[in-house]
Amino acid sequence: MKILLVEDQLSTSLIIQTQLESWGYTVVCAQHGQEAWNILQDAPYPIVLTDWLMPVMDGLELCRKIRGKDSSNYTYVILGTAKNSQEDLVNGLEAGADDFIPKPYNSAELHIKLRNAERIMGYETMLTEKNTQLQEAMSLIQQDLGQAAQVQESLLPKEPGSILGIGADWLFLPSNQVGGDIFNIIPIDQCHLVFYLVDVVGHGIGAAMEAMSISKFLTPKYLHYQLASASSIAKEMNEIFQSTTTVMQCFTMALGILNTKTNKLRMVHAGHPPSLLIHQDGTNQLIEGGGLPLGILDDPDYDDTVIDLEKGDRLYLYSDGVLECENSQGEYYGLNRFRQLMEGTQDQPLSQSLTSLHRTVKNWGNQESFEDDVTVLAIECVQDLHMKETHGRLCRDEEVQTRM
């Protein structure tokens, strides 16, 4: 191990150097603190054994400079001293000395102190190595998470805009890189839209994986045969995504099937907060109904709620992360504030309403990230029902009804 020996008396320096070398150390000598400091700029030394009183720069100052330096390599400093008062020791400790040795150096004592230094530097090296390993593992995990987040993002709708004459926009603020919330808005045929918001209980990778498999399950092809009832989709999903005894995984869901020709909406809420419907005139209602979260019980009951939407109606599906966003006093943002805000911004374009909501919950929580995923999916009836009917023929469920 290398030692930097700092000693202004040449004869003393020579004696100590010989002694140190006989113990197997590699020794480099400096005559005062400034010279030692210069040497340290070129190469790190694990151990510095320095005299206290020296010309140009004393041992105390050298010690302070070493501690003040931002370095990944620790330097163990032994301060040699003829001073033995309490105050001097305190000064030495304050400057950052690791150990003291009275002058003239007693050979046996010096040897023990150096071995201590070696032992501690050994721990130091081990710690640094472990730290490096941890950092490497951490960056690998971060990389994986980043990729997972990309996969998850690819399952979300691409651009807000108009689908089958229905406006759609959203707010998606996952609490981590990957989250347990997932949503989509899917055109099924020329006059049916299915949209949903799923909130898998819990956060992190487990919840994200579940969310992704749910999203992959709800394909247009599958949904095409399920347009008659939202609750039967919920029932089927409950069966498929059952928790096991080892994995407790359940989720809540709001799902709507909208006939864009008749504006008839069928919705199911499975353990999910009621969707908020705001009419053009600013009055509002909550669409409730439904049943338990999915994936827990074997055969829960779900019901469709059927509603006729009108021009200018906006429907907000949201995760409980919106309502449960806490301020510094631990108070939830809550349904009433959410409701009032969306009511008050009804006359603004949809994207602006959502921007207001984003700003408001962010200020409410007063921190950069949210504790839970905050997701809102908004859809808007932009066209008149009357106008739409002139566009085309009846769509499948009316045909079915007519035949009945």
Partner 1 sequence: MELSQNWIDHNLVISVPENHLSINIGQSLKQLISELSTHESGNIIFDLSQVKKIDSSGMAGLVYLYKWLQGRGELRLCGINDSIRQMMEITRIDQLIHQYRTVDEALSDLSPH
When binding is defined by CB under 8 A, the residue of 192, 261, 272, 314 that contacts partner 1 is 272
* Residue closer to partner 1, measured from CB, 201 or 354: 201
* Nearest Cα to Cα of residue 223 among 266, 180, 192: 192
* Nearest Cα to Cα of residue 256 among 321, 344, 315: 315
Q: Give the whole-angstrom CA distance, residue 306 versus residue 401.
A: 15
* Position 252 contacts partner 1 (CB under 8 A): yes
Q: How far is the CB of 278 from partner 1 (least distance, A)?
A: 19
Q: How far is the CB of 252 from partner 1 (least distance, A)?
A: 6
Q: Are 189 and 245 in contact (CB under 8 A)?
A: no
Q: Using a CB cutoff of 8 Å and minimum separation of 24, what contacts does 127-131 make?
A: 128/72
Half-sphere exposure of 308 (CA within 13 A, CB side): 5
Q: How far is the CB of 105 from partner 1 (least distance, A)?
A: 56
Q: How far is the CB of 184 from partner 1 (least distance, A)?
A: 20
Q: How far is the CB of 173 from partner 1 (least distance, A)?
A: 17
What is the sign of the dihedral through the CA atoms of 150, 165, 322 and 266?
A: negative
When binding is defined by CB under 8 A, the residue of 39, 101, 156, 297 that contacts partner 1 is 297
Sheet holding 314-318, edge to edge: 161-163, 166-173, 374-381, 314-318, 275-278, 284-287
Distance between first and last Cα of the chain: 93
When binding is defined by CB under 8 A, the residue of 39, 101, 186, 292 that contacts partner 1 is 292
* Position 179 contacts partner 1 (CB under 8 A): no
DSSP run (H or E) holding 276? strand 275-278
Q: Would residue 196 be called left, alpha or beta, if left means φ above 0 and alpha means ψ between -120 and 50 degrees? A: beta
Q: At what angle do helices 107-154 and 204-217 cross, to 10 degrees?
A: 20
* Position 290 contacts partner 1 (CB under 8 A): yes
Count the residues in the chain.
404
* Position 243 contacts partner 1 (CB under 8 A): yes
Look-up: residue for tokens 């919920």? 234
* Position 231 contacts partner 1 (CB under 8 A): no
**Interacting stretch for partner 1, rule CB under 8 A, among 105-113, 119-127, 168-176, 201-209?**
201-209
* Residue closer to partner 1, measured from CB, 304 or 372: 372
Asked, as a colleague might, if the bond just before 274 is cis with ω within 30 of 0, I would say no
* Position 293 contacts partner 1 (CB under 8 A): yes
* Position 372 contacts partner 1 (CB under 8 A): yes
* Position 202 contacts partner 1 (CB under 8 A): yes
Per-position x/- string for 332-371, each x denoting binding to partner 1 as judged by CB under 8 A, each - no binding: x---------------------------------------
* Position 296 contacts partner 1 (CB under 8 A): yes
* Residue closer to partner 1, measured from CB, 89 or 296: 296
Binding site for partner 1 (CB under 8 A): 199, 201-203, 243, 248, 250, 252, 271-274, 290-293, 296-297, 320, 324, 330, 332, 372
